[in-house]
Amino acid sequence: MSRWNDVTGGTAGQDYAARFAALARSGKDVHGEARFCAGLVPAGARVLDAGCGTGRVMIRLAELGYDCVGADLDASMLAVAQRQAPGLPWFQVDLAAFEPDLLGIAADFDLVVAAGNVFPLLAAGTEATVVKRLAAALRPGGLMVAGFGLNESHLPVPPSITLSEYDDCCAAAGLAPVGRFSTWDADPYDGGGYAVSVHRRLRMCGTS
Ligand SMILES: C[S@@+](CC[C@H](N)C(=O)[O-])C[C@H]1O[C@@H](n2cnc3c(N)ncnc32)[C@H](O)[C@@H]1O
């Protein structure tokens, strides 16, 4: 179970998609995450959308020519993703137990993206394991991108992971810091309540 499930009861898919559809209709930019990722790796690159939810980010990346895989635990979110893009690969899986081999996919992603507060919404105590699992799915040199809130005003749950804790998880998983931003438009990080972090896999890393 995840904090996300605690908050939503596992039934948020339709409402979540409707909320972003309304934002898009009102002229809001809902593709910042995909654009940010597209600035890091070229079209055609393999991308894992970790905690893909309704596929908001991944469907856009697929439209831009990326070779994408989506993974999420919440069946109601995945049902929307599947309905919106039935031709794309969506997997219902706990990121804390993510093993590409078991899903029949290669562990050589060029980029893993965890957008939309995935890390603060994991089950308590699983953050380091999830970072390790995701790092192991990257090819050496591949990039890990995570954007999440750090205080109450940027989160639907109490803050649970600090940037230094996240960086420690990354270091333990063989991921080195590349950059940190305050928005998906790559504005410099200013110490505020939201951060987008980019790390690079340096070496082979295990999942134990
Ligand atoms: C706020 S939604 C973000 C969805 C999507 N990334 C986006 O930006 O629109 C957070 C997602 O993290 C997923 N999640 C939380 N813990 C998870 C876990 N252990 N394994 C897989 N997905 C998880 C939830 O199911 C949920 O879909």
- Across the range 26-50, mean pLDDT stands at 97
Render pLDDT for 1-17 as a digit per residue (tens, 0 to 9): 899 999 999 999 999 99
Residue nearest to atom 4 of ligand 1 (CA): 53
CA–CA distance, 201 with 165 (Å, rounded to integer): 17
State the chain's mean pLDDT as an integer: 96
Q: Is 56 in the pocket of ligand 1 (CB under 6 A)?
A: yes
Assign 187 to helix, strand or coil: coil
Cα 206 versus chain centre, distance: 20
Residue 74 alpha carbon, nearest atom of ligand 1: 25
pLDDT for position 18: 96
- Partnered with residue 113 across adjacent β-strands are 49, 145
Q: Is 167 in the pocket of ligand 1 (CB under 6 A)?
A: no
Name the CATH topology of 3-14+52-201.
Rossmann fold (3.40.50)
Q: What pTM value is reported for the model?
A: 0.96
Domain ranges across the chain:
3-14+52-201
Question: pLDDT category, 161, cuts 50, 70, 90?
Answer: very high
C-alpha dihedral (120, 22, 70, 34), degrees to nearest 10: -90
Q: What's the 2 CA to ligand 1 centre distance in angstroms?
A: 9
| 198 pLDDT more than 90 | yes
